[in-house]
Structure 1
Amino acid sequence: MATVNPPRGMRDILPADKARRESLLAVIRERYRAHGFDEIETPAVEEYDRLHAGIGGDNEKLSYNILRRGLDADAIRTGADDPSALSDLGLRYDLTVPLARFYASNRGQLPAVFRAIQIGPVWRAERPQKGRYRQFMQCDIDIMGDDSARAEAELMVASLDALGALGLDGATVRVNDRRVLDWMLDDFGFAADERPGVLITIDKLDKIGPDGIVAELRERGATASAVDAFDAYLRRPQTLEYNPYGERQIRKALPEGAPDEIVAHLVGIGEAVAAGTGATDIPLVFDPFLVRGMGYYTGTIFELAHPSVSYSLGGGGRYDGMIGRFLGQQVPAVGFSLGFERLADLLDQAADAGSQAIVLVHDADVPLAELIAHKAALMVHGRVRLERRVKNFKALLERSAADGYNAFATVSAGVEPGTLELKPLS
């Protein structure tokens, strides 16, 4: 007998939770639109070759592939060791790869600098665990056609504004640049072909600490002199003085001789974010060991942090090389993705705050026409649901409150519409 549960790693979302999630998304959409972004929509399905073009990092290994139509048993056996022979389509594993394809396809109808909102589900064959699902919502904003620090600053200001509108003040953005990482690894003496593996190890710094990082690099067989130089850098003496985000903080966190152009780019982002947020202290923190695993990042990278949780609430970066794979010419691009599922778990925002949601509890003998008239009269105040009175009246009200309703009225036959007494559900 078939199970009635949803597929493993996926969820049914009940009405109250659905309403709350939509309320959060409405706030995010409104703030993003206020910052000049326009919402688009792309298909849930993309071509297999596009999803496996080597630009999606480890996510490509987690993609759900769609079997080609019309394959017989012999064709399936023949292609058993070659997924591309069996699949021509797949479910999107993020919104960035589809966006790059969208821009390449529709560029002639878009402005020179295009600011996009994309909100929708994505699918990854993750190992299901608490807080990690196989289908989840992503909430992205991206800017294409602008290679200046203005683009990063706009994304950060809009995202911090959205979090503030959701009631989550005090967020900061950890910032780094892939070019800084490349320069550091070169300065330490790591060979070009070993740097991807070195970055994977460095990305674990928060989890295993400097000793663990150095030990793993030695186990990897990384250039010994480079590991020694990196080890000395990690253990260098440092003062405990506080430096706000800016040139002093950035240069203090890097080895001597950091490229002036990249430092100036990072400083410019901070100055613009400060102007856009009105904050007396720039809500950015430079982190020279922030890596972010996506292989398509080419410049600035960032993650959204909040003191109430140990994990990031979003992130993104610049991916100037991706659109060129589809268009044949390079187009600068940078994006920021909010971790919507984490935000939804963290925030407890009531759905449709400020509007009424009314339950009309009616006797069995109230004529249908009267019920509909009462409902129509109250719908100007919000949403209205009809419920027949039951013996356990208290349980009915408790269930209605759990479903997001905040007021109720009882209806008897012969009562004039518009004269019902509304009482709070609390």
Structure 2
Amino acid sequence: MRDFLPADKARRERVLAVIRQRYRAHGFDEIETPVVEEYARLHAGIGGDNEKLAFNILKRGMDAEAVRAAADDQSALTDLGLRYDLTVPLARFYASHRAELPTVFRAIQIAPVWRAERPQKGRYRQFVQCDIDIIGDASARAEAELVVATLDAVDALGLEGGSVRINDRRALDWMLDSFGFTPDERPGVLITIDKLDKIGPEGIVAELRDRGATPAAVDAFEAFLRRPMTLEYNPYGERQIRKALPEGAPDDVVAHLVGIGQAVVASRGRVSDLVADVPLVFDPFLVRGMGYYTGTIFELAHPSVSYSLGGGGRYDGMIGRFLGQDVPAVGFSIGFERIVDLVTSAEADGAAAVVLVHDRDVPVGELLALKAVLVAEGSRVRLEQRTKNLKPLLERAASDGYSAFATVSAGASRESLEIKQLA
């Protein structure tokens, strides 16, 4: 959990403003939910490993004896917790307000979340998530809208060239079934497959054998990983998807994935049956760890870094837990803390930012009157008393985002003020 100095805070807010503006341009509306949720909701078995990282809140009014009696039962000690993501709160929000929302609801959530991580570079215990979600649309259009809006926001931040790796949990489950892995083995097998980029095919096969997975299934998977591959380039589309999967992949899943690509291409003004020139890459081994994903899953990639800058997927079953009936839902989250470190510059708000450096003897009334005139003109204004060495003062002002300064003596007026640009 970190403090941010004024310059850092201003930079973060400018990046957030760009993301908000692009999301709103694509028809999403911002909502806000409480930072705490009920313990039972946060620990319903749908948050994956994040549930283990939740900060829980001790029940109020418990005396020492009650705490000792409940020491072995966390649910008896706590009834609330800090949210570890924004998807679980959104599902509860939608279930509570469905009657007041449109049939297809497009939501923006930009807010901090908390996880009891072991702090390290790129991992914090409090961090901001930037989510967009579409609830009520089961078609490929929903995923396409999320992909287009996310890439637009990233482009607007000066990070052109981003792409989205995409898979489908249904394809992944079918593939494991086709190899012969049992349903009980699947969670552990997925954990291992998720390491493919790090340990390679040999490491994956060795770990699966160490896990005691069905030998014949491991053999079939190893043969698939070692199958002959051509170097021909296939743009995102049905051919690429089918070549990346074992023979006989489910037609409905393939059609849904192809439909996403076609919609993304159409959004760029190019309609093609081949789905060429689309920033999507099908990855049959993309897993993502959240237990609530039921269909499409995706991650945001950028050529400047080896790690993902965000991700998401379809979670059609989650809202039904709160509402009593399933509602289709899909979301995409930008990893703000990673994105903000890559943005070399962000557009300022356009207003002039002026430091008024005044002599000690200038009456306070005159200073505030002069400041009020500049503020009314749309400027941002800071008052600073003149120091013997003016250079450090002006350097600090520039680092805080001020672009100009003026010196003020007693009796100065707006007309006599000479505003100079900071170098």
What is the TM-score of this pair, normalised by structure 2?
0.97
Instruction: Count how many residue pairs are aligned between Structure 1 and Structure 2.
Output: 417
Out of 285, 288, 294, the position equivalent to 2:290 is 294
Out of 160, 164, 183, the position equivalent to 2:151 is 160
Cα deviation, residue 419, structure 1: 3.3
The CA deviation string for residues 376-402 of structure 1, in whole angstroms up to 9 with x for no partner, is 222224211000001121000111111
Contact 1:37 1:141 in 2 (8 A): yes
Q: Match for 1:22: what amino acid?
A: E
Query: 2:325 maps to what in 1?
Result: 329
Query: 2:40 maps to what in 1?
Result: 49
Is it true that 1:355 corresponds to 2:346 in the alignment? no
Is it true that 1:210 corresponds to 2:210 in the alignment? no
Out of 361, 366, 391, the position equivalent to 2:362 is 366
Aligned pairs for 1:243-254 (under 5 A) are: 243-254=234-245
Contact 2:157 2:346 in 1 (8 A): no
Aligned pairs for 1:39-118 (under 5 A) are: 39-118=30-109
Identify unmatched segments of 5+ residues in structure 1.
1-9
Out of 379, 395, 411, the position equivalent to 1:414 is 411
Contact 1:351 1:404 in 2 (8 A): no
Cα deviation, residue 373, structure 1: 2.2
Out of 310, 313, 319, the position equivalent to 1:317 is 313
Cα deviation, residue 351, structure 1: 5.8
Query: 1:307 maps to what in 2?
Result: 303
Is it true that 1:128 corresponds to 2:125 in the alignment? no
Cα deviation, residue 370, structure 1: 1.7
The whole-number CA distance in structure 1 between the counterparts of 2:59 and 2:138 is 39
Query: 1:259 maps to what in 2?
Result: 250
The whole-number CA distance in structure 2 between the counterparts of 1:185 and 1:377 is 69
Out of 168, 176, 190, the position equivalent to 2:167 is 176
Query: 1:7 maps to what in 2?
Result: none
The whole-number CA distance in structure 1 between the counterparts of 2:299 and 2:341 is 18
Query: 1:16 maps to what in 2?
Result: 7
Please state whether the residue corresponding to 2:185 is helix, strand or coil: helix
Cα deviation, residue 356, structure 1: 1.7
The whole-number CA distance in structure 2 between the counterparts of 1:21 and 1:183 is 42
Cα deviation, residue 348, structure 1: 2.4
Out of 402, 405, 423, the position equivalent to 1:405 is 402
Query: 1:341 maps to what in 2?
Result: 337
RMSD: 1.1
Query: 1:38 maps to what in 2?
Result: 29
Please state whether the residue corresponding to 1:193 is helix, strand or coil: coil
Using a 3 Å threshold, how does the CA distance of structure 1 residues 405 and 411 change in structure 2: closer, same or farther?
A: same
Contact 1:22 1:351 in 2 (8 A): no
Query: 1:395 maps to what in 2?
Result: 392
Using a 3 Å threshold, how does the CA distance of structure 1 residues 192 and 261 change in structure 2: closer, same or farther?
A: same
Q: Percent identity?
A: 78
Out of 126, 136, 141, the position equivalent to 1:150 is 141
Identify unmatched segments of 5+ residues in structure 2.
271-275
Contact 1:374 1:418 in 2 (8 A): no
Query: 1:191 maps to what in 2?
Result: 182
The CA deviation string for residues 301-323 of structure 1, in whole angstroms up to 9 with x for no partner, is 00000000111111100000000
Q: Match for 1:317: what amino acid?
A: G
Please state whether the residue corresponding to 1:192 is helix, strand or coil: coil
Using a 3 Å threshold, how does the CA distance of structure 1 residues 418 and 135 change in structure 2: closer, same or farther?
A: farther
